[in-house]
Amino acid sequence: MSTVALSPLAPTITIEADPKIGLRGHLRHTGALIRRNLLWIKQDPESMMDAVLMPVIFTLLFVYVFGGSIGQSLGGGQAAYVQYVIPGMIAMMSMNIAQGVGTGFNEDFNKGIMDRFRSLPIGRGSVLVAKIAVELIRLLVATTVVMIIALLVGFDVNGHWGGLLASVGLSALFGSAIMWIFLVLGVTMKNAQSVQAMGFLVMMPLQFGSSIFAPTSSMPGWLKNFTTYNPMSGLADAARGLMTGGPIGHGLTVTLAWTVGLTVVMAPIAIRKFTRKS
């Protein structure tokens, strides 16, 4: 049995060692590490500020600054834009929260916390899965905040509560796949600022070259082709269909294809780089 103080603020957590770590061992270690990360958030509630405030800022900004003009093109003014953009905001949260896992992972390395983890007889994948699980909790908090603001600015669920829950689940699923990319960035970049800068280079084209904030019908042909297979467009369109009763086929297919592909490719890379990092 190994005992480690994972931070000066969090209590000591004991992790049992197994000669050969099986599924139960991985689950036990993952649970202990999730608890550690949640305790850290409890001791440092300011780390939740981005998850709580960013959804409020983005939602109010796009609804009240762009809602009138874009809403007119949708044929219904600001009210129509609220119905359009809120599902897109839920999609956007999945990538915004995913960036946090990379910066946090990098900071843990620079503080020596990951060296302590790697000195313990625990599954290397458990450390990464625990990070993703906690970020998904942050994602659910952010989505809840978005929906509260959405209802206040006039979003009408119109009875599609099942679709709302399904869109949140789809966003979390895709978000978990994106997080593997940011875990790779977190383990390979020198500092958190570099991870954040690289993250913006990944995020900006995907978010703004998509159907999250505005319809793609007026975009030039080359950009419209990009948005067709952009996973953020797929996620936004699928969420929009689930929450408002529109078509979901193409968006759902694109989202699931990217989710599976990113997870299959990036998860082994992240685990291998984490294991071999000196």
- The Cβ of residue 185 has, within 10 Å, a number of other Cβ atoms equal to 23
Lowest-confidence region among 9-13, 57-61, 108-112, 115-119: 9-13
Residue 36, in any domain of the structure: no
pLDDT exceeding 70 applies to what percent of the chain?
Answer: 87
Range of the domain at 67: 48-276
Q: Can you state the angle between helices 67-74 and 77-110, rounded to 10 degrees?
A: 120
The whole-number average pLDDT for the span 115-125 is: 69
Residue 191, in any domain of the structure: yes
Q: Which long-range CB contacts under 8 A does 149-152 form with residues at least 24 apart?
A: 149/55, 149/56, 149/59, 149/60, 150/59, 150/82, 150/86, 150/89
Phi and psi, residue 2, nearest 5°: -115, 140
Residue 125, in any domain of the structure: yes
Residue 80, in any domain of the structure: yes
The single-letter code of the amino acid at 172 is: A
- Reading the block at residue 238, the tokens are 């699928």
Residue 37, in any domain of the structure: no
199 sits in which H/E element: helix 192-208
5-54 pLDDT, tens digit per residue, is: 444 444 444 434 344 666 677 778 788 888 887 887 777 777 777 777 88
Residue 204, in any domain of the structure: yes
Residue 38, in any domain of the structure: no
Distance in angstroms (rounded) separating the CA atoms of residues 244 and 168:
14
233-275 pLDDT, tens digit per residue, is: 999 999 999 999 889 999 999 999 999 999 999 999 998 888 7
pTM of structure:
0.83
How many structural domains is the chain composed of?
1
Residue 137, in any domain of the structure: yes
Distance in angstroms (rounded) separating the CA atoms of residues 138 and 237:
23
